[in-house]
Amino acid sequence: MRHLDQLQIKILLVEDDEDDFFLFEDLLADFQSIQFDLDWADTYEKGLQAVQRCQHDIYVFDFRLGKRTGLDLLEEVVALGFRLPIILLTGQEDRETDLAAMAAGATDYLVKGTITSALLERSIRYAINHTRTLVALQEREEQYDLVAQACNDGLWDWNVQTHEVYYSPRWAAIIGHGEQALGRSIEEWFDRIHPEDNERFRADLREHCQRETTAFECQYRIQHQDQTYRWVSSRGMAVFGPQGQVLRIAGSQTDLTHHIALYDYLTGLPSRALFLDQLQRTLKRTQRQRNYLFAILFLDCDRFKLINDSLGHAIGDRLLVEVAKRLTAALRPGDVIARLGGDEFAILLENIPELSLAEQVASRLNRELEQAFELEGHTVYISASIGIALNSDPSQQPEDLLRDADNAMYRAKALGKSRYVVFEDTMRDRVQALLKLETDLRAAITNKEFQLYYQPIVSLATQDIASLEALIRWHHPERGLIPPNDFIPIAEETGLILNIGEWVLQEACRQLWDWQQTRPDLPPLSISVNLSRKQFSQPGLGQQIQSTLSEAGIHARQLKLEITETTIMENETMASELVNQLRALGLQLQIDDFGTGYSSLSFLHSFPLDTLKIDRSFIEGLVSDSEKSEIVRTMITLAHNLGMTAIAEGVETQEQLRWLQTHHCDCVQGYFLSKPLPANQIETLLATPNGMFANQLMATPA
Ligand code: C2E
Ligand code: MG
Ligand code: MG
């Protein structure tokens, strides 16, 4: 097609009426700015042949063409794939065909008898221009589609003004969707972003929209139709308006499933998949070289979660990067180190002479990690629990070896962290058992297998029950009664403790209310409930307790919370705020297991709690062990000097009780007075006239 400016155009008129042809010619004669050659086809068939030769710039079809019509011709031409500027002429009586003509692909239509020369000239100009634009656009679209298909990336185009997003078929396919199933809203995208990546994604986008980056780029996880998350990389660029406002952002999205499988995006270290792949190769070598010894170190950072939760993900990420650097620097060049996810790393030490070398490496790694990390103005300290596994038999699978090292790492954690443990076969069974316990524990909540026992805490002054400590019991369907020490640590580790703890709190309050209603004759009671480490650091704890109390109709002064000193120490910054908040509610706070942690006197000054519970380990042997009795005496004095009461835990004998009485301990708790009992037995005890513990207490001199 030639340019309009040259305006030497060739017109084809398909018209079966000779008079009308001359009329048309007359109209053209008056054209102002277009010079033309006019060709004439006087039948439908001749018209069709001429059109297919494509020698004209503009085609004008009359509606009436013998038995057929110009509309038929138009449709046939379009069906053959021609995109041409075609004007349809209709008679006065055929007006209703206008719409059909436009729908069929005519560029314009004109009604005979109303056509002036100027109108025709304008129409021809427009038709030629319009078609040219359309063709160009279509070619662009075809190119775009071709590129899109070839590059295997999803494409997106977000019109920020209209809030509409175009997602290409490939974009939809990456997340397992058909094109149709996906709407055009931005939520289709944002709602699928992994919660942990959401903030980072938005920050990257914001930075680009504020022109802080030249392009938007983010690697993140997006939810697939099958509910799993896939790693993708998105890139894009914004188009800015005159005021700097963002008009649209468009870009591509790449499926990283295969890239990311090999490298960790944060640290750049090999990922689990690559590590296992390497391990597989090393295992093959041991089949050829019988004495080939290698070790796997499974390393998990202690306290990482704490730092991540308190200082934020950004610092957590920085820490992981720094940890990766230090570990890499502390290894030999040939050793393989990978990030398995979270704060877990795996290391492959090839070709070592003996186990002791792996142990040396583990110690060295821990020494490196124990040096302070300076992160954006924060000084943080971590350590690592490391499990070591050696290759023992060549038929082992890479996953087995890694799991052995993982199990040994767990053992290291259990032994108090910041250490290494070498894997032994017996650990396998223990881990199996733990896994089973975890599964059962999940079911226990729904199956209501928990029960609270209550142990009296007796005031030595009044000889009455000062309070009852609620202690949880688990009725396991196969294993019978399981004591809390056997499952609370696992509940902690898995987070299940939050549900369990909430239940304990509700149940204790419910029981208290129940006793108040059914037994108004009983003295006013209070209950103490143990708070786990995780519960204590859970946001919104104050509110949760408050609403539990008001739902149960229990006064805050009837509830006491027991917190171990280690729990407070570990959360020192947030602890003081929380402690104040809980005390403001009117709750009493007690330090449990006092003496087992590492708290200093200054700590007790900054956390003025209500009660100090002296740990059972000090009461045991109290009478015979002069060192212990000295410690307990100091603890009691300390409590009193700080305005706290002292409770002795684990009182089992008459002698211990007598000693505590003599040394002005306020309250005692222990088997000597009563074991923890289910609610109904506590009722019986409470109903005993003349002081329930009179026998035990009377035998001792006042
Ligand atoms: P704890 O809070 O120090 O509770 C006292 C533990 O000492 C109880 O063990 C109790 O039965 C035991 N005890 C009391 N008097 C004596 C005695 O004279 N001799 C001996 N040998 N032991 C005595 P239990 O019930 O097995 O609970 C163990 C720990 O489990 C508790 O220590 C507490 O830390 C935790 N625990 C219990 N119930 C809960 C709960 O509902 N939530 C949380 N987070 N932890 C709980
Ligand atoms: Mg306790
Ligand atoms: Mg205790």
Domain ranges of the chain: 4-146, 151-261, 267-423, 436-697
Whole-number pLDDT of residue 38:
93
With 0-12 / 13-18 / 19 or more C-beta atoms within 10 angstroms meaning exposed / middle / buried, residue 205 is: buried
Cα–Cα distance measured from residue 596 to residue 599, given in angstroms and rounded to the nearest whole number: 9
**What is the distance in A from the centroid of ligand 3 to the CA of 669?**
10
CA nearest ligand 1 atom 46, residue? 530
Average pLDDT rounded to a whole number, residues 523-552: 90
- What atom of ligand 1 comes closest to residue 484's alpha carbon? 30
> What ligand is nearest to the CA atom of residue 596?
3
Residue 11 Cα distances to 51, 111, 630, angstroms:
11, 18, 117
Q: Is 110:131 a contact under the CB 8 Å cutoff? A: no
**What is the distance in A from the centroid of ligand 1 to the CA of 370?**
34
State whether residue 457 is helix, strand or coil: strand
Residue 2 binned pLDDT confidence (cut-offs 50, 70, 90): very low
Average pLDDT rounded to a whole number, residues 639-648: 93
Q: Which two tokens stand for residue 68?
A: 């057929």
CA nearest ligand 1 atom 27, residue? 484
Phi, psi of 631 (to 5 degrees): -60, -45
**What is the distance in A from the centroid of ligand 3 to the CA of 656?**
17
> Helices marked H in 585-669 — which ranges?
601-606, 616-619, 626-641, 654-662
The answer, yes or no, to whether residue 701 has pLDDT greater than 60, is no
Does domain 151-261 match CATH 3.60.21.10? no
The answer, yes or no, to whether residue 266 has pLDDT greater than 50, is yes
Phi, psi of 420 (to 5 degrees): -120, 155
**What is the distance in A from the centroid of ligand 1 to the CA of 675?**
10
Whole-number pLDDT of residue 702:
45
**What is the distance in A from the centroid of ligand 2 to the CA of 593?**
7
Whole-number pLDDT of residue 151:
63
> What ligand is nearest to the CA atom of residue 481?
1
Q: What is the pLDDT of residues 118-169, one digit of tens each?
A: 899 999 988 888 888 887 777 777 766 666 665 678 889 999 888 899 998 8
Whole-number pLDDT of residue 1:
44
CA nearest ligand 1 atom 44, residue? 532
**What is the distance in A from the centroid of ligand 1 to the CA of 471?**
6
Query: In terms of DSSP bridges, do strands 450-459 and 677-678 run parallel, antiparallel, or are they unpaired?
Result: antiparallel
Mean pLDDT of the chain: 87
> What ligand is nearest to the CA atom of residue 562?
2
**What is the distance in A from the centroid of ligand 3 to the CA of 189?**
51
CATH superfamily of 4-146: Response regulator (3.40.50.2300)
The answer, yes or no, to whether residue 497 has pLDDT greater than 90, is yes
SS (H, E, C) 50-83: HHHHCCCCEEEEECEECCEEHHHHHHHHHHCCCC
Q: What is the pLDDT of residues 579-624, one digit of tens each?
A: 888 989 999 999 998 887 665 566 777 776 899 999 999 999 898 9
Q: Which two tokens stand for residue 427?
A: 């650990």
Least confident segment among 142-146, 333-337, 474-478: 142-146
- What atom of ligand 1 comes closest to residue 676's alpha carbon? 11
Rg (CA), the chain: 41
Average pLDDT rounded to a whole number, residues 235-256: 87
CA nearest ligand 1 atom 10, residue? 676
**What is the distance in A from the centroid of ligand 2 to the CA of 524?**
21
Q: How far is CA 665 from the centre of its chain?
A: 49
| Lining residues, ligand 1, CB within 6 Å | 455, 471-472, 483-485, 488, 501, 504, 530, 532, 562, 592-593, 616, 649-652, 669-671, 676
Cα–Cα distance measured from residue 587 to residue 442, given in angstroms and rounded to the nearest whole number: 30
Beta carbons within 8 Å of 626's beta carbon, 6+ residues apart: none
- What atom of ligand 1 comes closest to residue 671's alpha carbon? 18
Q: What is the pLDDT of residues 502-516, one digit of tens each?
A: 999 999 999 999 999
Cα–Cα distance measured from residue 261 to residue 272, given in angstroms and rounded to the nearest whole number: 8
Half-sphere exposure of 7 (CA within 13 A, CB side): 11
- What atom of ligand 1 comes closest to residue 471's alpha carbon? 38
**What is the distance in A from the centroid of ligand 2 to the CA of 640?**
20
> What ligand is nearest to the CA atom of residue 593?
3
Q: Which two tokens stand for residue 507?
A: 């149940």
Residue 544 Cα distances to 224, 371, 502, 540, angstroms:
35, 38, 8, 6
**Ligand 1 pocket test, candidate residues 530, 533, 536, 614, most atoms within 8 A of CB:** 530
Class of domain 436-697: alpha beta
CA angle 448, 454, 457 (to 5 degrees): 160
Whole-number pLDDT of residue 104:
86
Q: Which two tokens stand for residue 489?
A: 């640590």
SS (H, E, C) 384-417: EEEEEEECCCCCCCHHHHHHHHHHHHHHHHHCCC
Query: In terms of DSSP bridges, do strands 588-594 and 373-375 run parallel, antiparallel, or are they unpaired?
Result: unpaired
- What atom of ligand 1 comes closest to residue 531's alpha carbon? 44
- What atom of ligand 1 comes closest to residue 491's alpha carbon? 44
Whole-number pLDDT of residue 259:
59
**Ligand 1 pocket test, candidate residues 471, 532, 613, 693, most atoms within 8 A of CB:** 471
Q: Which two tokens stand for residue 700?
A: 């001792």
Whole-number pLDDT of residue 600:
58
Pick the CATH number of 267-423 from 3.40.1190.20, 3.30.70.270, 3.60.150.10, 3.40.800.20: 3.30.70.270
CA nearest ligand 1 atom 15, residue? 670
**What is the distance in A from the centroid of ligand 2 to the CA of 455?**
10
Cα–Cα distance measured from residue 330 to residue 700, given in angstroms and rounded to the nearest whole number: 64
Of 289 and 95, which is predicted with more confidence? 289
Question: What's the pTM?
Answer: 0.52
Whole-number pLDDT of residue 510:
96
Half-sphere exposure of 446 (CA within 13 A, CB side): 4
CA nearest ligand 1 atom 8, residue? 471
Phi, psi of 618 (to 5 degrees): -85, -25
Least confident segment among 78-92, 450-464, 549-563, 670-684: 78-92
CA nearest ligand 1 atom 43, residue? 530
**What is the distance in A from the centroid of ligand 1 to the CA of 472?**
8
Cα–Cα distance measured from residue 672 to residue 660, given in angstroms and rounded to the nearest whole number: 13
Cα–Cα distance measured from residue 103 to residue 280, given in angstroms and rounded to the nearest whole number: 65
Residue 365 Cα distances to 320, 327, 362, 420, angstroms:
14, 6, 5, 10
End-to-end distance of the chain based on CA atoms, in angstroms? 117
